[in-house]
């Protein structure tokens, strides 16, 4: 039996701020439990719900480096064993992340605590699968500080990039201090760029924890084939294209999946009316009218209704949406927005809601229940991201018979087939040039199809629902990777 340990900063259902949590919560369930013993370890945040905290049992506690407390708690849920690194000083806050300066110390501690705990909890993984910068120091510690211990020899590592923009960066002096790593790790080409200007003091060199994960891991994956190619270029790599080109033979693009039990319009208890691919037309109209009623929009099952479910940040293409909002609201179109993020975008959508109260409903909040209702109730979902490693919202929208309108980049390019009206193919609409008018053109095309070619629209919806974006296919690729390792 292959033993795999997932190391991550978040995981559903315990704590979630983005798609990373969905992946770490759903991917382990996709493997055959007769062949794979996959376990997950995350910090024991105070923000984890009491219903889960009350189920945890203490496995072990000890002093790391003879001075820092580490507690390890565990619980088993849906056949997966989860571990939680417990330390009130680091993880006792009300939110999982603070500011970068503090988080660097917190997740350096977490990475080292994970390895320190393994000999004590009775689990020696064959492979440690690390996710994003918060766990990037695990391969670094494993191949430096911990190599003298026979227990750790032969353990392999894979590092997954979920979003290369967030790397855990600061100067060498601070990261060396919080990590305690030997100075050899901070030579140019390791945690520091090989192009570093060595004429300035070493303590001031720019340092990236993620770069360390890329250098010291045995294999690297990211969450779509297109993104794997994009991040080898300067425009998408945020300064890491040198190491990714150098290690390109060990870089795999594996598309994310979604939990088809969690996201199932036929059984979803959070939506107003359940439906299948056979009943989606009436089912979606019922969900739309109820959603309009709940959000104080005029109840009209026939109006084209667009949705945005997103973090409200620059990455998500909301600058393009801002440019076209007045034109959008001059059409027979409604827009429903759910999310939180940058204050300027939160206020932008509040403004348009007040300007067009019968057309725009903005809920500046996070609500899983409302997200389910929006996926079921809107006709199309806008995902005009400037860059998108994979994206999960477009996969969920396809599952719910909601047509995605996307910027053809990263995982959006890999998962949404552009509509072809002549051949009656495709599952959504996509634009190539990152411009507001490119987005508006695709919305106009979708609007034309919805109002003037309703039969073609229904065929488009059904093609999307027929696609399988569960973990069934991607988990097989991970199995191949694990076998090679």
- The token duo for 259 is 């939990």
Q: Which CATH superfamily is domain 280-469 in?
A: Glycogen Phosphorylase B; (3.40.50.2000)
In what order do the strands lie in the sheet containing 403-407? Answer: 360-363, 333-338, 304-309, 380-383, 403-407, 429-431
The rounded average pLDDT for each run of 10 residues, N- to C-terminus, in the chain (485 residues) is 97 94 96 96 96 97 95 97 98 94 97 98 97 98 96 97 97 97 97 95 96 98 97 96 97 96 97 98 98 98 98 96 97 97 97 98 96 98 97 97 98 98 96 98 98 98 97 95 94
The residue written with tokens 């508006």 in the block is: 440
* HSE, side-chain direction, 13 A CA sphere, residue 47: 19
CB-CB neighbours of 313 under 10 Å: 16
* Alpha carbon distances (Å) from 220 to 91, 136, 369, 431, 479: 28, 11, 34, 29, 14
Question: ∠236-18-369 over CA atoms, to 5°?
Answer: 140
What residues does each domain of the chain span? 2-257+472-484, 280-469
Q: Is the entire prediction scored with pTM above 0.85?
A: yes
* HSE, side-chain direction, 13 A CA sphere, residue 287: 31
- The token duo for 485 is 């390792």
2-257+472-484 and 280-469 in the same fold: yes
According to DSSP, the β-strands at 169-171 and 206-208 are antiparallel
pLDDT of residue 408: 98
Topology given in CATH for the domain delimited by 2-257+472-484 = Rossmann fold (3.40.50)
Q: Where are the beta strands (DSSP E) in 264-314?
A: 304-309
Whole-number Å distance between alpha carbons of 280 and 457:
12
Whole-number Å distance between alpha carbons of 39 and 421:
46
Whole-number Å distance between alpha carbons of 120 and 149:
13
pLDDT of residue 202: 95
pLDDT of residue 18: 87
Of 468, 464, 276, 290, which is closest to residue 374 (Cα–Cα)?
290
């Amino acid at each position: 039996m292959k033993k795999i340990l997932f190391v991550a900063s978040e995981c559903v259902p315990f704590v979630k701020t983005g798609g990373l949590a969905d992946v770490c919560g759903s991917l382990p369930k996709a493997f055959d439990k007769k062949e794979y013993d996959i376990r997950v370890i995350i910090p024991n945040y105070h923000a984890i719900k009491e219903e889960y905290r009350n189920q945890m049992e203490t496995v072990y506690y000890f002093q790391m480096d003879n001075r820092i407390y580490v507690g390890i708690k565990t619980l088993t849920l849906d056949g997966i064993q989860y571990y939680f690194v417990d330390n009130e000083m680091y993880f006792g806050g009300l939110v999982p992340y603070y500011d970068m300066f503090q988080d660097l110390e917190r997740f350096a501690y977490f990475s080292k605590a994970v390895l320190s705990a393994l000999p004590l909890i009775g689990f020696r993984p064959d492979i440690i699968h690390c996710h994003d910068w918060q766990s990037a120091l695990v391969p670094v510690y494993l191949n430096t500080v911990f190599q003298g211990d026979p227990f750790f020899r032969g353990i392999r590592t894979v590092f997954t990039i979920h979003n290369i923009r967030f790397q855990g960066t600061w100067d060498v002096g601070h990261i060396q201090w919080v990590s305690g790593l030997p100075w050899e790790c901070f030579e140019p080409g390791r945690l520091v760029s090989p192009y570093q200007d060595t004429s300035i003091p070493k303590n001031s060199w720019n340092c990236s924890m993620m770069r360390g994960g890329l250098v010291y891991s045995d294999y690297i994956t990211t969450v779509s084939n297109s993104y794997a190619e994009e991040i080898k270029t300067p425009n998408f790599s945020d300064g890491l294209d040198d190491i990714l080109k150098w290690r390109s033979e060990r870089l795999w693009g594996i598309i994310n999946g979604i939990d088809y039990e969690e996201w199932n319009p036929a059984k979803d208890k959070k939506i107003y009316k359940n439906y299948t691919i056979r009943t989606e037309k009436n089912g979606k109209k019922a969900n739309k009218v109820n959603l309009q009623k709940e959000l104080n929009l005029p109840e009209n099952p026939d109006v084209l209704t667009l949705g945005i479910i997103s973090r409200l940040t620059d990455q998500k293409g909301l600058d393009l949406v801002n440019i076209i909002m007045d034109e959008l609201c001059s059409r027979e179109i409604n827009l429903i927005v759910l999310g939180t993020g940058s204050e300027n975008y939160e206020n932008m959508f509040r403004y348009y809601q007040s300007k067009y109260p019968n057309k725009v409903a903005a809920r500046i909040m996070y609500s899983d229940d409302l997200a389910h209702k929006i996926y079921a109730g809107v006709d199309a979902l806008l995902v005009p991201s400037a860059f998108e490693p994979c994206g999960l919202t477009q996969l969920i929208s396809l599952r719910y018979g909601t047509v995605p309108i996307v910027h053809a980049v990263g995982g959006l390019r890999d998962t949404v087939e552009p509509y072809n009206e002549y051949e009656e193919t495709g599952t959504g609409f996509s634009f190539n040039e990152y411009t507001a008018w490119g987005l508006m053109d695709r919305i106009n095309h979708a609007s034309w199809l919805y109002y003037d070619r309703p039969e073609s629209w229904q065929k488009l919806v059904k093609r999307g629902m027929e696609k399988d974006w569960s973990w069934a296919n991607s988990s097989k690729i991970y199995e191949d990777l694990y076998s090679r390792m």
